[in-house]
Amino acid sequence: MLLLKVMKRLRIYIDTSVVGGCFDSDFETESRALFDMIKAGRLIAVVSSLLADELRLAPSKVQAILVELPSKGVESITVDLEAISLRDAYLAAGVVGDAQSNDALHVALATVARADMIVSWNFKHIVKLKTIRGVNGINRMLGFKEIEILTPQSWIQEDNNE
């Protein structure tokens, strides 16, 4: 019996740290590898209007990273009331502090968009066990699916082990 494995392209929410990571010696290799996978058609980058707003303040070389992606590899989403409400639930529960409102909004946007995962280099507020558990607890409580939160490095290692 012949079994065909059909793989859908994963939809990966990209936060600002991953784009900037392309120009940071500690994160450059894995960040660029992730964007190469998007260019090769292996992944879909879910990018938000929040990311676009944050990148407006970045140097042009950082902004160019997203511009260079093929349109078929990018799904654009906007901030909406559902994401704002979910962000507010994260903040009210103390998942992250009020000063990290945008970090909570990135996670909420990824969740509401039903992205397969969010990738980030933000170890202080996003890629942190307390945050991951808190986010997914709130998500379950409010009827959303859990979201994987990984660094590009850990995701690439997982992908290579499959």
Task: Please count the structural domains in the chain.
Answer: 1
Please check whether residue 4 lies inside any domain of the structure. Answer: no
The pTM of this model reads 0.91
State the CATH number of the domain containing residue 100.
Answer: 3.40.50.1010
Please check whether residue 6 lies inside any domain of the structure. Answer: no
Please check whether residue 142 lies inside any domain of the structure. Answer: yes
Please check whether residue 162 lies inside any domain of the structure. Answer: no
Q: What is the mean pLDDT of the chain?
A: 92
Please check whether residue 1 lies inside any domain of the structure. Answer: no
Is 2's pLDDT higher than 70? no
CA dist 120 to 2, 5, 6, 81, 92, Å?
38, 29, 27, 23, 22
Nearest Cα neighbor of 11 from 42, 55, 40, 32 is: 42
Mind listing the pLDDT tens digit for each residue in 67-92? 999 999 999 999 999 999 999 999 99
Q: How far apart are CA 101 and CA 125, in angstroms?
A: 10
Please check whether residue 5 lies inside any domain of the structure. Answer: no
Please check whether residue 124 lies inside any domain of the structure. Answer: yes
pLDDT at 5: 47
Domain, as residue range, for 61 = 11-157
Please check whether residue 136 lies inside any domain of the structure. Answer: yes
Mind listing the pLDDT tens digit for each residue in 87-132? 999 999 999 999 999 999 999 999 999 999 999 999 999 999 999 9
